[in-house]
Chains A and B, each alone.
Chain A
Amino acid sequence: MMTLTLESLRHDKRAAIIATALMGLALAAFPFMVGSTLGNSWLRIIDFAMLYIMLALGLNIVVGFAGLLDMGYIAFYAVGAYLYALLASPHFGLHLPIWLIIPAGAALAGLFGALLGAPTLRLRGDYLAIVTLGFGEIVRIFMNNLNSPVNITNGPQGISGIDPIQMGGITLAKPLSVLGFTVPSLHAYYYLFLALALFIVFVTIRLENSRIGRAWVAIREDEVAAKACGINTRNIKLLAFTMGASFGGVAGGLFAGFQGFVSPESFNLMESVMVLCMVVLGGMGNIPGVILGGVLLTILPEIFRHGAGPVQTAIFGKILLDPEALRMLLFGLALIVVMLYRPAGIWPSTTRRREFRGESSDVLKEGE
């Protein structure tokens, strides 16, 4: 049904414009609806979901398109976040503007992506996973220990008092008044994150349907054949690492400005695994699927966290299991269920859906 409507939109221009307008209106009204019904804590979660969408889309380029299993992706998020923290906080007394820091964060994370990519070009699958996992840990441990002899990252205490995101003298940390409306801070962050997430979606879609995107998928499918077709696999793989990492750098910078505090423990292995889960569960290589994965995996654990307590009280009259412990248990269960019943992801690309369904469509064709 879903694909059917999307397909008809592609042909009917007017329907497409109306659908886009409605979608835009819904996205614009969304924070006010959430804020007034569920409260600010949920709005914060929604803001984080936007950041995770950016991360998942970045990792999707590396894992979903180019087929390179990266288990240390959160390192690029860390690079972006720490760059922001160092350039806009009392730690060094620097307070550079956001339009300088975010692109710089993207560029530096991209550079780190290339640094990770270069020595791992010959590796694939499990071996690549191990090396990238190590890379992610190395970055985190560096952040943890770069406080002596020269204090750069302030070690495990992290950096606090980071400047909130400011644009043209307007800070997003305080409620804004726009044309008589009051836009609370969390709402303003939502709009900024949404805009950047949409930008990243746009870039990803353009890349996917290009010569570069095809080359990525070709490498995923058969590297030797891709080389024989004249693809410089070294450069194209490095490009995948760089592009993916730069998205992570953008998200990291926004995270630092939003949170006001960064510390190494925000960038542990669990976070890398989480982003990888978003890509795989959502539907590897399929942009809408990856976005869905990002949203679901940000929100689900929170639902379990908030819901586990009241549900237990309702059934048993008291809390038997600590909601915090139960949260991961339920989350793990959800992952297993999805992988069992939708191995290609919740919303896979049409290609992968066929791949997992096997040759059935082929058999039909042969029988005609």
Chain B
Amino acid sequence: MMGANLLEARNIAKHFGGVKALTDVSLSIRKGEIYGLIGPNGAGKTTFFNVLTGLYHPDGGELIFAGDKLKASAPHLAAKCGIARTFQNIRLFGNMSAMENVMVGRHVRTHAGVIGAVLHDSRTRREEAAIRRRAEELLHYVNIADRADDLARHLSYGDQRRLEIARALATDPKLLALDEPAAGMNGTETEGLRTLIEGIRSDGITVLLIEHDVKLVMGLCDRVAVLDYGEKICEDVPSVVQKDPKVIEAYLGGSLA
């Protein structure tokens, strides 16, 4: 599975006014791996995410995704290319059912327009049935099939996280980018999440993981990159990253050492 690079970020730069959120960040994610992106608060992890998923325009550098230069000037194009994401502060369609949330995720891979919707021809009916079937599968996949008809906003916190992942998976991504999926979860929920992410990877989807839970990252990821003040200070397998003096300095503060 592993081998060729799925995503290559070359010298990505992004600044907000005078604040340099990202400076020359280069990293490569291999097909089929779970890649962790960690760093102290404000290190630029989420900014990198937003650049990757087309929410921000980078001020410099380029992204190569699946061999093509990514001109993801808009988030919906990033989704079309095969990059799906979840959000740090969960963003579901609160007043739609869990089922409908996942069905919306199928939007980018389906085609029915106004005429199809009004005429309800056999092609549209088939497509609609396929959307529903796939959404059901995905709800089963993330283990919340019994909440299918509940409003997303009425789900428990852990289930909302799972629903967001199911919605992201509905877009048939090559790369699934998870922004702090374990934030606010208890031990059991985190363990469940870990099993879920491993399952996703074994189904052939590459995972990019931003996470504060160092234990989760170190146990789950194949490789980890560390950002500090918008710069990449380290990129390697977890065991090496853990011992890197620069990483320790970034997390614990240099002057004490």
Judge whether B224 is part of the interface by a CB distance below 8 angstroms.
no
Residues 123-136 of B, flagged 1 when their CB comes within 8 A of A and 0 if not, give: 01001100100000
The segment out of A149-157, A206-214, A296-304 that lies at the interface is A206-214
Contact yes or no, B107 A229, CB < 8 A = yes
Given contacts A210-B112, A212-B114, A228-B79, contact A221 B154 (CB under 8 A): no
What separation, in Å, do the CA atoms of A206 and B116 have in the docked complex?
9
Neighbouring A residues of B156 by C-beta, 8 Å: 366
What separation, in Å, do the CA atoms of A362 and B79 have in the docked complex?
32
Neighbouring A residues of B113 by C-beta, 8 Å: 212
Which residue from B104, B117, B131, B168 sits with its C-beta under 8 Å from A231? B104
Contact yes or no, A221 B120, CB < 8 A = no
Contact yes or no, B118 A203, CB < 8 A = yes
Instruction: Count A-B contacts at CB 8 Å.
Output: 114
Which label, helix, strand, loop or mixed, suits the secondary structure of the A interface?
Answer: helix
Judge whether B22 is part of the interface by a CB distance below 8 angstroms.
no
Neighbouring B residues of A228 by C-beta, 8 Å: 53, 55, 75-76, 78-79, 84-85, 87, 91, 168
Judge whether A68 is part of the interface by a CB distance below 8 angstroms.
no
Residues 191-225 of A, flagged 1 when their CB comes within 8 A of B and 0 if not, give: 00000000000010011001111110110011011
Neighbouring A residues of B104 by C-beta, 8 Å: 214-215, 218, 226, 229, 231
Which residue from A211, A221, A231, A232 sits with its C-beta under 8 Å from B96? A221
What separation, in Å, do the CA atoms of A93 and B110 have in the docked complex?
48
Judge whether B182 is part of the interface by a CB distance below 8 angstroms.
no
Which residue from A207, A211, A359 sits with its C-beta under 8 Å from B128? A211
Contact yes or no, A229 B171, CB < 8 A = yes
Name, among B87, B113, B154, the residue most crowded by chain A CB atoms within 10 Å (CB to CB): B154
Residues 31-72 of B, flagged 1 when their CB comes within 8 A of A and 0 if not, give: 000000000000000000000010100000000000000000
Given contacts A203-B118, A207-B117, contact A229 B108 (CB under 8 A): yes
Q: Give the interface of B toward A (CB within 8 A).
A: 53, 55, 74-76, 78-80, 84-85, 87, 91-96, 100, 103-110, 112-114, 116-118, 120, 124, 127-128, 131, 151, 154, 156, 167-168, 170-171
Report, nearest first, the 6 A-B pairs whose CB atoms are least far apart: A230-B108, A230-B79, A210-B117, A221-B93, A227-B75, A225-B91
